[in-house]
Amino acid sequence: MVKLPRHWSKISETGSILGMKILLACYRIFGRNVFRITLLLVIGYYYLMNKHARQASQAYLKKVKPLCQPQSKALTPFRHFWTFGELLLDKFLVWMGHIQRQDIIFHNKASMQYMNERNKGGIIVVSHLGNTEICSAIAHQMPNIKVTMLVHTKHAQKFNRMLKQTNANANISVMQVTDMSPATAMTLSERVEAGEYIIIAGDRTPVHGTARTTVVQFLQHPASFPQGAFILAGLLKCPVFLMFCLKQQNKYHIYIELFSEQLMGPRKTREQRLDNTVKDYAKRLEHYCLMQPLQWFNFYDFWYIDSSQTKLNTTKKGQT
């Protein structure tokens, strides 16, 4: 019998809270150089011992290389792992509040102004591309805005405590969500009404089942993407923004786009709207992914599609 790839949620997290605290203490006591030496040992061990993650990296780079010819020689699995480790330090710097205004370059400032002037909040869809934690920079840039990150981890409360310990002024919280219950939806609705922004990843399929997914083209290959963020936006009747943070020339470039004012419409066309929305999101993710291909971190078989998923959302012949 063929062994099926494990779902991403079944794979152990790459680092524990204790491990992150140790690395954080290493950075605080000994500085960046010693941290990088320690990190090299950690990444080297992880690279050698984690066969599945290494194979996932190779599969991803094989797909992205033909689309990034000028820099394709630099796209190797070890450099992919090392980039992941380097951005781990960036996460620590964000948590400690060490990211200065001059370190960040905001793009699409019209979208930020629109967010800042709204009385209500909305949904911000992020991904595992770049440094998601830099989203706290939004709270620093617009102090009246609060954000809640939805994550699939049992350590959400510990993350919140660590955020407060490293930076008591952090205007961001983490909420653990495995499934969207009515109570959770009610809580999120109240937060959006109060002007808060809900941050949710748009590039990992649901923990339970594939009913709320759409298969679309990503890096010229079919892949399954979740509908959850866009279903939630429809329920909350709020706008959807996309946010990507890429490290370029030692600066953090934050790209914010207004993706949709409101994902509402007739019930009979709901599924088609969701499929088209997911397809459009995958295109935007691909656009930014090709800008910094080594900064996309999904170390599992991303392109595996469950046999029950037979729907491929591609543009019909002749459709514009």
State pLDDT tens for residues 176-233: 776 667 788 888 899 999 888 898 889 987 665 556 889 999 999 999 999 988 998 9
Query: Rounded CA gap, 245 and 263, in Å?
Result: 24
pLDDT at residue 91, rounded to an integer: 76
Residue numbers of the chain with a pLDDT score lower than 70: 1-21, 70-71, 95-97, 134-144, 152-172, 178-180, 206-211, 307-320
Query: Rounded CA gap, 137 and 151, in Å?
Result: 19
pLDDT at residue 62, rounded to an integer: 93
DSSP string, 278-311: HHHHHHHHHHHHTTSGGGB---S-TT---TT---
pLDDT at residue 7, rounded to an integer: 44
Whether the Cβ atoms of residue 16 and residue 1 lie closer than 8 Å to each other: no
Whether the Cβ atoms of residue 247 and residue 130 lie closer than 8 Å to each other: yes
Query: Rounded CA gap, 245 and 295, in Å?
Result: 10
Query: Rounded CA gap, 53 and 12, in Å?
Result: 11
Burial class (CB in 10 A: 0-12, 13-18, 19+), 97: middle
Name the CA dihedral angle for 60, 61, 65, 67, rounded to a multiple of 10 degrees.
30
